[in-house]
Amino acid sequence: MKPRRFKITAKARKTLYLVTATGVAGLALQAANPTLVPFSNDSYIVSAASAFTEKITSGFQGIVRSSRAVYTISFNIVDYKYSLRGLPLESEEYLRALSEVHKSSAKRILKLCEANKGFYVKAGQFVAALRQVPNEYSSILSSLQDQAVPCEFKAIKRVLINNLGQDLSEIFLAFNEQPIAAASIAQVHHAVLKDHREVAVKVQYPGLENQMKFDVRTMAILSNCVAWLFPEYRFNWIVSEFEKTISLELDFVQEGKNSERTAKNFKKNKMVKVPHVFWELTTRQVLTMQFCNGHKVDDLESMKESGINPTKVAKALVEVFAEMIFVHGFVHGDPHPGNVLVSPNGPNGFCLVLLDHGIYKELDEEFRLDYCQLWISLILLDSHKIQELGERFGVGKYSRYFPVIFTGRTIDSKSALGIGMSKEEKKKLKQEVAYLRMEDFSSFMETLSPNFLTILRADGLVKSIIRKLGASQRLRLLVYAKYAAYGLLTDLNSESGYTVQYVFFRFKKMTNYIQLRLILEVLELHSRMEDLGHFLVNKWKIFWLNLWSFLNRNSFTFGQIN
């Protein structure tokens, strides 16, 4: 039976628009909250008047943007309520209807993000990168990744002069007014300094901080409304994490510090390049960096032209992020293809250039070590250890889904690493998940450490990139396991002592590390042998197909000879 679909009449649509616009007006004006201050001179009056005008303008825009948001979310709430009403929760009809309403709701949110731009696009990208949201949302909202309309240069120039205190001609020998890249909160211009050094200048769009107050407050209120109407749908954790993330990303000084720290972490790794920061030309709204050539990490055509092996690029990318997570505990939170370039200059014919260091997460040491232990347990499928770590992470019974989330296997799987689940395992998992409700998902995400959100987002983006590069997921799993083992060893090396107890402890830890590395080497050798087997089988098939084609083409000639 075809799932019923919710429709709204034109008259009701107009009424809903009017109600949402009126209801959000008070919210927007409250967020602007312009205040009068005493004036001491004419320039101060002009500056204050300009700031007041900007707040009024932001307030009006906030009303329009927030009205769109309230309307969209209200429409989606009614759609969910109507489309799923009366359907048995475990029925096929309910699941089909749920998938359809997910799709239609995601499309409305996509239109909202495209109309409001700015932080809504950023929020859409944030949600799309979360592997915990329904597939319909992540697939539809993923199109926002490349949607960014550059700001006109007149406004960008004002930001540059206000922040750098000089006219551009006094600082730069040349400045390209056309941006070489544009994102939801900033755009990047290529320029040449007076000493002929090439730089990339990242400029924040004007008025973003006021806009952020409106947008985040609107998102928070809407998430509370959704939770009130649907107690099992609680998304406050997304809004809270997004607000923290975006606040950090608006501070380009902090981004410069993150960049330098990352460069220091990888100073011995010639496969990684982090652009140098020019601090004398950097403020909260302007970031000036060394200009680096390269193409996006998922640009297969450019790799082919440069003779670069995509699988090697995939392995290097996984190793970089594995080192960040398991060893440094300082993780780049937004590694989408535009933020990782492949440069033809490097020890193996290429290197990775890491850009956009605004979103980082510093993992506390206890979490980092527990996460290393978790990955080793996931590779070895040590269900007891996984359960124990789940308790320490605060997720309790939901820890049994860690293997599915990270490795694609169930906790009692018999499948080989990287192969995925068997039909029987998929069937069993489907039956088990059928008993889970949105309440379970909300509870899981609310109790999960914020560290996990950054790691899951980064890992999801890395996983997507290596899939495009044609590398197997087994490669990712083995690299992560190796660096998890190494991450535990770095903790061992950080300790010191000469007591008999310490020496014995160190020996035991080192022995465990060696045993684990031997297991991983065997798994990697098995993986390579399988890859070689697939390669030889494919070559053999190609040989016989070519031979068969040759014989068919020349069969008439052979007949004549006979």
304-325: b (≥16 Cβ within 10 Å) or e: eeeebebebbbbbbbbbbbbbb
User: Six-digit token pair at 558?
Assistant: 């052979």
The rounded Cα 244 to chain-centroid distance in angstroms is 15
Outline where 177-267 has alpha helix (H): 208-229, 236-249, 252-265
Greatest Cα-to-Cα distance within the chain, rounded to the nearest angstrom: 110
Fill in the DSSP letter of residue 143.
Answer: G
Report, in angstroms and rounded to the nearest whole number, the Rg of the chain calculated over CA atoms.
27
Cβ pair 277, 255 in contact under 8 A: no
Selected catalytic residue, list 299, 334, 356, 459: 334
Cβ pair 120, 246 in contact under 8 A: no
List the strands of the sheet with 340-343, edge to edge: 272-273, 351-354, 340-343, 295-296
360-362 and 330-332 beta bridge pairing? antiparallel
| Residue with the two structure tokens 């799987």 | 413
Torsion angle of C-alpha atoms 281, 284, 285, 288, degrees rounded to 10: 30
Determine the Cα–Cα distance for residues 457 and 463; give it in Å rounded to an integer.
10
Is 334 one of the annotated active-site residues of the chain?
yes
Torsion angle of C-alpha atoms 406, 410, 414, 415, degrees rounded to 10: -50
Determine the Cα–Cα distance for residues 397 and 383; give it in Å rounded to an integer.
12
Let me know the angle formed at the C-alpha of 103 by 97 and 409, rounded to the nearest 5 degrees.
85
Determine the Cα–Cα distance for residues 312 and 347; give it in Å rounded to an integer.
12
| Residue with the two structure tokens 């006219």 | 167
Cβ pair 172, 195 in contact under 8 A: no
| Residue with the two structure tokens 């699988």 | 311
Task: Residue 173: count other Cβ atoms within 10 Å of its Cβ.
Answer: 12
| Residue with the two structure tokens 């790794």 | 269
Cβ pair 335, 461 in contact under 8 A: yes
- 3 state DSSP class of 418: coil
Cβ pair 247, 229 in contact under 8 A: no
Q: How many angstroms separate the Cα of 531 from the Cα of each of 43, 303, 472, 476?
A: 71, 22, 10, 15
250-272: b (≥16 Cβ within 10 Å) or e: bbbebbbebbebbbebbeeeebb
Please give the single-letter amino acid code of residue 358.
G
Cβ pair 129, 241 in contact under 8 A: no
Active-site annotation, residues: 334
